[in-house]
Amino acid sequence: MNEKYKVYTKTGDKGKTSLSGGTRVPKYHPRIDAYGILDELNSFIGLLRDSIDNTKINDFLIEVQNRVFDIESNLAAETEKAQARAPKILPDNIKNLEEEIDKMDSQLESLKNFILPGGHTIVSYCHICRTICRRSERAILKIEDKNINSGDCIRYINRLSDYFFVLSRFFAQSLNCKTAIWTPNKQK
């Protein structure tokens, strides 16, 4: 990118934007909604990174942010040509998430109850990331297009929400937070 990139394009002022194949779609289009949710997720991951003092986890979260951008690129690619240029989610990306989940989970007590988000700001940020992941998963599933590398994207996002759940428990434990357990209302 040698030229200075302008933030404003003057092409979206009428409620439309372009996919990476050139087609103009309304800003409420399912693809735009899906990668907009992922953009929101990426922002919250940045907030989470800014809140923690753990180089290893921070470095991993930067990797995650890059993969989230890869998925956004896939969602924006409307044509086979654009899809061929879009970065892919690889099986190793999913495997890396699973390995990180397993490492943290091996240090945690077995979960016997549903837990309520909260206890510390970092724990809450993890839960926010988890729930945005779930919302993005639902949005991606609404898109029916053979050109989208959605299988691997969905697997990654699904596993990423699991990662954030385990990360929330990991931080709750390492920060000595009191975890609130869900207490269902009793029927009278």
The domains of the chain, with CATH numbers, are: 17-174 (1.20.1200.10)
Q: What is the pLDDT of residue 24?
A: 66
Cα–Cα distance, 163 to 96 (Å, whole number) = 10
Mean pLDDT, rounded, for 73-81: 77
The yes-or-no verdict on residue 66 having pLDDT over 60 is yes
The yes-or-no verdict on residue 57 having pLDDT over 70 is yes
Q: What is the pLDDT of residue 176?
A: 94
Q: What is the pLDDT of residue 82?
A: 72
The yes-or-no verdict on residue 26 having pLDDT over 80 is no
Cα–Cα distance, 165 to 32 (Å, whole number) = 26
Mean pLDDT, rounded, for 18-47: 79
The yes-or-no verdict on residue 101 having pLDDT over 60 is yes
Q: Specify which residues 18 forms β-bridges with.
A: 24
Asked if 141 contacts 79 with a C-beta cutoff of 8 angstroms, the reply is: no
Q: What is the pLDDT of residue 144?
A: 63
- Global pTM? 0.86
Cα–Cα distance, 158 to 132 (Å, whole number) = 11
**What rounded mean pLDDT belongs to the chain?**
86
Q: What is the pLDDT of residue 16?
A: 62
Asked if 24 contacts 36 with a C-beta cutoff of 8 angstroms, the reply is: no
Question: What are the tokens at 10?
Answer: 């003057």
Task: Give the best-scoring range by mean pLDDT among 81-85, 122-126, 145-149, 153-157.
Answer: 122-126
Q: What is the pLDDT of residue 147?
A: 47
pLDDT of 133-184, one tens digit each? 999 999 888 886 554 556 788 899 999 999 999 999 999 999 999 888 898 8
Closest CA to 45 of 169, 163, 177: 163
